[in-house]
Chains A and B, each alone.
Chain A
Amino acid sequence: MGRLFYALFVRLPAAIADGIAALRQVAEPIALVGILLLGTHGATNVLDDVVFGAVDYSDRAIDATAAAVLGWFGERGWLTASNAAAWSDSIALFVDIDRKEVLAVGLALVVELLLDLALVLWCLPPLAPAEPAPSTGAASAQTAHGRLHRLWLGLLRHAPDALRALAVAFAFVLGAVAIGRWAAGQAALLLAAPFLGPNAPGLAPACGVVAAGLALFAVLPVGVRRAVARARAMTLHRPARALILPLIAAAVLGAAVASGGPGQAVRALWAEEVAAEPEPSTQATTQPATQSSTQPKSMPATLPAHGVPGTSLTRDDPGKSLTRDGGAGDRR
């Protein structure tokens, strides 16, 4: 009996703990990649806005160029004015404001996946020795390339290690925050179970903070060490790429920070929830005095039914208040 007790409650837990400890060598790299991907998503959750800005700028430039070129064609008599306007309008409508939104979100997903890939590759073990330079190619291009390499190399030699692995470390922190938020939510779901009764307020957020701390403890030192090692190896073998990748990652993550997304995520972990905006019981409370100059007072109250006190329109008499003229098409 004593031996059974010893085996069940001493040897078995010890064996399980040893097994888990042995798993650490496998688990840590996986955790590293997982947190890196979470962090990338935390940073790029506002990437759609950044991408939208790029798409919007390109679309406006294309529209303006097309309008100018077609207008010039019209002036030269190569196109009629109506045809030029129609073509210009078709080009402008090809990507309208709704399509731009869809396009921006789709491209944001692609960029996020590419960023995931770049950062994960960055954390892989150091590179093998570089391949020999190609024997063909213009001499001037090789010279320029060599000078550029020396420039990158010079810059990197002066860059501290922390800067080299900044993007990766930043992604780790955001990933830990994401895990903390997820853990806090799961803890709250668990604690809300009726059989547990009332629980102490703040317990679930505390679980989230602990989870975030554990995640950082588990992966940050290893991850940053690998990223720095990678940066040093690349500095020796592929100096241009060694600087470009962190710069791109830092630019994207920095843009995300500037637009407030990850900042909100970090603040939300610690702060109380933001109260929803109040909904006034009556309408139009903030219109300034200039309104009277733009709206004729003699206009009859012909507003639609909903939300307009004093009007008698109901659903039983549709079409009573709104007046239509010039409508060319059937509404349905």
Chain B
Amino acid sequence: MSWWQRQAARVRGLIAVLVVTGAGLALYEQTPLGPLGRMAYNWAAGTRYQGPSPLAAFTDASGRTYGFLLPVDEKAVQAIEATVSCLPLAQLQEIARASEVDAVGLEALIGAHAQMNNTACVLELPAELLARTVEVLPAGTTREAVRSDPQLAARGLARLLGVEHKQFAHSDLSVELAVESLLVGRAAVQSAVAAASAAGLRRPESLEVHRSLLPAGTSNRADRALWVLARMSLGRLLWPAEGFTRITSNFGERINPVTGQQQFHNGVDVAMPVGTLLRAILGGAVARVGYDAVSGNYIRVSHGYGLESVFCHLSYVTAASAAAVIRGESVAQSGNTGRSTGPHLHFAIKMFGRDVDPVALYQGVLPLPLPPKPASAPATLPKVP
């Protein structure tokens, strides 16, 4: 074997080893085989698997992970309710206006960190974020004061949000990136966005897209950011049919008008004539258009961050599958198809694969079922000593 042949063999061997390494890592990270392998390992070791589902490698027609596969942070769900109770919306909007930041983003940020019990309202900020909040508030402000005073915390977080907002001002998703940056860290977010962009992924600045590229230790904070961004979306909802708000059948258990049996109704029925134009309640992409014996013609729009809206019994769907829609865009016409006793719209909203009451969402009430609250909440929240 000549010298050149020996060098060529060495180079080819090196390439083969590199390709094996790259293929193995890519298989582990990007295909269902990675989670399946880890599940098998955990099963053999007798431990509990807590990673992502193998099904999470699939995306819907809009290119997003299926909502029912996204992680659900029960603590964050409960904390979101505290937004309403800890700090009235009017006060929050005033603070946001004074700080020139996005009121919806600030509200969502505080909501995700608020932890409410029957007697006190305490903002549970991570230690790092709490320290940063204290730094931007007047000298002499203590951490305990920030934790116990929602207004003080809101002012501090508004200033921080303004600082981060300027860092991402070049992006269409600047508010979302600023909120994520406060929770996960600016350097980590910038690196993940750059990596997603280099890998040619669509919408690299969306947390859903670059989430897997965030540092390993930020998983819990990324989950919380996902919830905050979902909460932000709720602040911008549009009603699907302007002028038609009469609810003829509520969300929850009901007597089915067709069968006469008790069944769970996963949305609300809104009375409206056939042909009423229906608009997208938020920006997003059409995840599914189809026909079903029960639902008739239907359209499912994915709005990102685990939020989906579904319109059923339609006469006509104008938006195509996988098409991007903007907030307020006409996507369908109401009808009377499928199992229906009269012209109406069946309107359902899903958060992270769970059915939620659309009316409650539009009224700013808690998004998911929670333990019962005491009937009379204190008007002014007591300070934590």
Which residues in A have some Cβ–Cβ distance to B below 8 Å?
17-18, 20-24, 27-28, 30-31, 34-35, 37-38, 41, 45, 47-49, 52, 56, 59-60, 63-64, 67, 82, 85-86, 89-90, 92-93, 96-98, 100-102, 105-106, 108-109, 112-113, 116, 175, 178-179, 181-189, 191-194, 204-205, 208, 211, 214-215, 217-219, 264-265, 268-271, 273-280, 282-288, 290-291, 293-296, 299, 301-308, 313-316, 318-319, 321-332
Contact between A305 and B362, CB atoms less than 8 A apart: yes
Contact between A27 and B328, CB atoms less than 8 A apart: no
Which residues in B have some Cβ–Cβ distance to A below 8 Å?
9-10, 12-20, 22-27, 29-33, 54-55, 57-61, 66, 68-69, 84, 88-90, 172-173, 187, 190-192, 194-206, 213, 234-239, 241-256, 258-261, 263, 265-266, 273, 275-277, 279, 281, 283, 288, 290-295, 298, 300, 310, 312, 324-330, 333, 339, 357, 359-360, 362-365, 369
A178 and B252 in contact, given A86-B259, A185-B195, A285-B328 (Cβ under 8 angstroms): no
Contact between B20 and A179, CB atoms less than 8 A apart: no
A279 neighbours in B (Cβ, 8 Å):
172, 283, 326-327
A285 neighbours in B (Cβ, 8 Å):
326, 328-329
A295 and B89 in contact, given A24-B13, A184-B198 (Cβ under 8 angstroms): no
Docked Cα-Cα span, A106 to B246, in Å, equals: 38
Docked Cα-Cα span, A208 to B201, in Å, equals: 13
Pairs A–B under 8 Å by Cβ, sample size 28: A17-B13, A23-B16, A24-B13, A27-B17, A31-B20, A34-B19, A82-B260, A102-B68, A106-B55, A178-B26, A187-B198, A188-B197, A188-B198, A205-B198, A211-B22, A273-B202, A276-B203, A279-B327, A280-B328, A283-B238, A295-B276, A304-B237, A304-B363, A307-B236, A307-B239, A318-B364, A321-B363, A325-B247
Residue of B at shortest CB range from A205? B198
Chain A binding surface, main DSSP class: helix
B327 neighbours in A (Cβ, 8 Å):
279-280, 283, 307
Contact between B293 and A186, CB atoms less than 8 A apart: no
Docked Cα-Cα span, A97 to B60, in Å, equals: 14
Contact between B245 and A185, CB atoms less than 8 A apart: no
Expressed in whole angstroms, the minimum distance between the Cβ of B270 and any Cβ of chain A is 9
B89 neighbours in A (Cβ, 8 Å):
314-316
Docked Cα-Cα span, A280 to B261, in Å, equals: 44
A313 neighbours in B (Cβ, 8 Å):
363
Docked Cα-Cα span, A332 to B31, in Å, equals: 39
A208 and B199 in contact, given A291-B277, A294-B276, A306-B235 (Cβ under 8 angstroms): yes
Docked Cα-Cα span, A90 to B213, in Å, equals: 44
Contact between A22 and B245, CB atoms less than 8 A apart: no
Name A273's contact: one of B27, B204, B261, B333 (CB within 8 Å): B204
